[in-house]
Structure 1
Amino acid sequence: MKAVAPAASRILFGNWRGSYTVPAGGLYPHQWSWDSAFIAIGLRHLSPRRAQQELDTILSAQWDDGRLPQIVFHSGRDDGYSPGVSFWNSSSIPGSPPVQTSGLIQPPNHAMAVLMVHESDPHESGRRRFLERAYPRLVSWHRYLRERRGTGSGLARIVHPWESGMDNSPYWDACLRGMTQTYGGEIPRPDLLHAEAEHRPSNGEYGKYLYLAARYRDHDCDDADPDFPFQFEDPAFNALWARSELSLAAIAELIGADPEPHRAEARRIASSLEELWSSALGCYVARDASTGELQPYRTVSGLTPLLLPDLPHTDELLDLLRGPHFRLGEVAMVPSHDLTAPTFDSARYWRGPSWFNTAWLIAEALYERGCTAEAEQLSRNMDDGALDHDFPEYLDPYSSAPRGTRRFSWTAALALDLSQKIGASR
């Protein structure tokens, strides 16, 4: 097996900025929320102290209402990323933190990461009272999801494709096509300096992304715009929320708090997730919270509930993962979209390429469900894809050709994490 640690260490240390890690120099020069949680999971194998700092830093950018922002602009400058500091101007929005941030959020994987980082060095974590600092912030974050983003179904809604972490998933197609509004100003595309246009969302999509972001910003990011045109319940977002409630229960026990409210919340979210189950497709799907319509697509987001215990559709999801739609073990990692769908595109962002973070989530689920051989094969596949192509953002599932930017932090972190897991199982 190839040695991942030396090369992954170079990436993670090279992208470290003193108290946090950028996803990649150039294209992503700030701190991203769910990226930092994934990065900390790998960083804990190199420096548990630095992994704690990574999470402390993202948690310290929390808004008064509890949200953890999608992006933290520590430099206070745009630095070539759009939309940046001047677009969001978060300091003018009531309840924002002293540091400049975006107003949007990302999937809630943070409690998972906090628990894993603690477990990597309980002594150092205890000495620094890491869990005691993180716990109230995580509780506030989850309260925000329940109280400010909750829907009648008991799930949390997202108000922008970026909040799913899977920006141009087919899930959003019908809604975006139906939108007549678009951003009225210039649509800057600095991302195209680092990646090919055919691999990224289109200008038409970006115009609508910026319209949604600007409308949310101009409403002071208060989640109280009743006619907001994009409101979705996403399966991966909510599965990670439920999984993180289970992590909060474990953290609560460790610090002497009551774990049962978190276990009850995890059960409640998992039960509500059943409203997103599509019997016709054999997986969970996103739902338009405004119309109630389930979106007719199989994506990796709909496989992510495998992370939850006592899932009623485990066998169906495993069959789907192994079958012709995702072909686990036959293609590179786990495709982001159904290989047989007419909307599949092997090169374009979240419409087909295989991503390292979602592959890690599936590998974790496979390990936990006792599918060790498949989990190890997927882990080795991740390591090979990372090392052979300088830790790319994502891969073509058929050719394994690298896509997006290189020296990507969560690719290095998560490949490192799984390589350590394989080593520990020997």
Structure 2
Amino acid sequence: MPPSAMPEVRASIVLRRNWTGAYTVPATGLYPHQWSWDSAFISIGLRHLSPRRAQRELDSLLSGQWADGRIPQIVYDTRRDDDYAPSAEFWRSADQAGSPPVPTTGLIQPPIHAWAVWLVHTQDPQESERRRFLERAYPRLVAWHRYLRTRRAADTGLATIVHPWESGTDNSPLWDEALAEVPATPQSPLERPDLRHAAASERPSGREYGKYFWLAERYRDHACDDADVDHPFVVEDPTTNALWARSEIALADIAETLGKDGAPHRAEAGRITTAMDMLWCPDFGAYGARDRRTGDVIEKATVGGLLPLLLPADVLGESRAATLVATLQGERFLSIAGIRPPVMAPSYDATAPDLDPGLYWRGPAWFNMTWLLHAGLREHGAPDVMQSGLDEAVDIALAEDFPEYVNPWTGAGHGTRQFSWTAALILDLLRQRAS
């Protein structure tokens, strides 16, 4: 289809091609299974095409929930087990207590799901009610958040991640120090089917993958039970906790729609937001991460450190929100001195010496983060901060065939193409612009 074709039609074609009948793969080659936060983002765009299909997307993901409440990072299609590593065979989830009947990882991803469920419901409340969508999803989402609170949050009250993959921002510079002592020598063969679909220069290195596999083996071999006191990677992540708080607000909306008390969920959102103060880095006006093993705050400016903008002013505080907006507009993200302003905010501090605008999460711009930032700016009445960039982002998505991520300055696409959340979120942004 030529670039001049209607943007919504082109986005819908990507989502149709990647649809399996029950869920949407992120990309048919590089990512052939169902990913947790991918499906949440995808459902947000799918709701404009078919609210029922968006509900099925989330129903499919929730069917992979563990007995302890966790929503797994990946639900596997075993027919494609050779196309992605680590595979379902690596995880052997059927051997773990409380695992679902479908093969999954033991790891998780950021908890955006309740918010996605709420947005899908509001697109067509009658269809949602007819299918009892909220009634089915609510107890599963409550169990998911209970897992975070009881299994991943300790004395600080913040949820931890036990693997960089759980952050969704896999090889962000935020994890470098915490990974420094992790061995890069897994027992499993280090297979890299990802390199069949993306250039090595755009993907984590073999050494980084060695560390990732070693950590995954460690977690798997300790029964994925979060009780390994010597686990070498335990980090409080701003993306995970900001989305947890935002999803608690969505849970309150869901509860109240079902005639239940939403106040406990709103209180929980406030508690998480207050606890995030320990991640605040005043030197650059955003949130960092915290290594729970050492207690040290990792003071690096990443796009995830801006995501508390998703929280309303009565939860986040007007002063903190204003500081985050100023940081987004400043030299680290959107107003970088001496070089062309970026089209979209880079995923990592543009003033950092180790910025790489073409390497996975170490500088490129991502469409899901652009969508989240735009939602945060709208929450605080400042959508114009990114409006011109959003218009250009839509053009780049079309010109680059819906890339996984892009160089923030040139708009050059990287990673795989026809990426589902790029198509879905561009579709949502187009609908917002038209409304």
TM exceeds 0.5?
yes
Match of residue 300 from structure 2: 297
CA contact (8 A) 1:155 1:273 kept: yes
Look up the SS of the partner of 2:201 in the other structure: helix
C-alpha separation between the residues in 2 aligned to 1:378 and 1:77? 37
Does 2:180 correspond to 1:177? yes
Match of residue 275 from structure 2: 272
Match of residue 81 from structure 2: 78
Look up the SS of the partner of 2:75 in the other structure: strand
Aligned counterpart for 1:243 among listed residues 239, 242, 246: 246
1:78-97 aligned within 5 A: 78-97=81-100
Look up the SS of the partner of 2:180 in the other structure: helix
Look up the SS of the partner of 1:100 in the other structure: coil
Q: Point out the more displaced range, 185-194 or 322-331.
A: 322-331
1:11-410 aligned within 5 A: 11-75=14-78, 77-180=80-183, 182-310=185-313, 311-312=316-317, 313-327=320-334, 330-410=341-421
Query: Among the aligned pairs, what percent are the same residue?
Result: 58
C-alpha separation between the residues in 2 aligned to 1:398 and 1:337? 13
Look up the SS of the partner of 1:78 in the other structure: helix
**For residue 322 of structure 2, what is the amino acid of its counterpart?**
D
**For residue 369 of structure 1, what is the amino acid of its counterpart?**
H
Task: Flag as ranges the 4+ runs of structure 1 deviating above 6 A.
Answer: none
CA contact (8 A) 1:379 1:419 kept: no
**For residue 34 of structure 1, what is the amino acid of its counterpart?**
W
Shift in Å, 1:129: 0.5
Q: Deviations over 1:215-261 (max 9, x none)?
A: 10011100000000000000111000000000000000001111011
**For residue 130 of structure 1, what is the amino acid of its counterpart?**
F
**For residue 355 of structure 1, what is the amino acid of its counterpart?**
W
**For residue 250 of structure 2, what is the amino acid of its counterpart?**
S
CA contact (8 A) 2:347 2:361 kept: yes
C-alpha separation between the residues in 1 aligned to 2:112 and 2:92? 26
Cα distance change on mapping 1:180 and 1:88 into 2, 3 Å = closer
Q: Deviations over 1:359-386 (max 9, x none)?
A: 1000111122111323432431321121
Shift in Å, 1:317: 1.1
Q: Deviations over 1:262-299 (max 9, x none)?
A: 01100000100111001122110011011111112100
Shift in Å, 1:151: 2.2
Shift in Å, 1:319: 1.1
CA contact (8 A) 2:114 2:250 kept: yes
Shift in Å, 1:318: 1.0
CA contact (8 A) 1:276 1:284 kept: yes
C-alpha separation between the residues in 2 aligned to 1:360 and 1:182? 37
Aligned residues: 424
CA contact (8 A) 1:2 1:383 kept: no
Shift in Å, 1:415: 0.5
C-alpha separation between the residues in 1 aligned to 2:383 and 2:360? 29
Shift in Å, 1:175: 1.7
C-alpha separation between the residues in 2 aligned to 1:75 and 1:423? 41
C-alpha separation between the residues in 1 aligned to 2:6 and 2:387? 15
C-alpha separation between the residues in 1 aligned to 2:183 and 2:222? 19
> How does the TM-score come out when normalised to structure 1?
0.97
Look up the SS of the partner of 1:287 in the other structure: strand
CA RMSD of aligned residues (A): 1.4
C-alpha separation between the residues in 2 aligned to 1:279 and 1:343? 21
Shift in Å, 1:181: 5.4
Cα distance change on mapping 1:181 and 1:393 into 2, 3 Å = closer
C-alpha separation between the residues in 2 aligned to 1:21 and 1:146? 29
CA contact (8 A) 1:69 1:105 kept: yes
Shift in Å, 1:343: 1.7
**For residue 334 of structure 1, what is the amino acid of its counterpart?**
A
**For residue 322 of structure 1, what is the amino acid of its counterpart?**
Q
C-alpha separation between the residues in 2 aligned to 1:63 and 1:243? 22
Shift in Å, 1:2: 8.1
Look up the SS of the partner of 1:45 in the other structure: helix
C-alpha separation between the residues in 2 aligned to 1:282 and 1:5? 36
Cα distance change on mapping 1:274 and 1:2 into 2, 3 Å = farther
CA contact (8 A) 2:245 2:311 kept: yes
C-alpha separation between the residues in 2 aligned to 1:305 and 1:3? 34
CA contact (8 A) 2:374 2:386 kept: yes
| Structure 2: unaligned runs, 5 residues or longer | none
| Structure 1: unaligned runs, 5 residues or longer | none
CA contact (8 A) 1:234 1:287 kept: yes
CA contact (8 A) 2:30 2:197 kept: yes
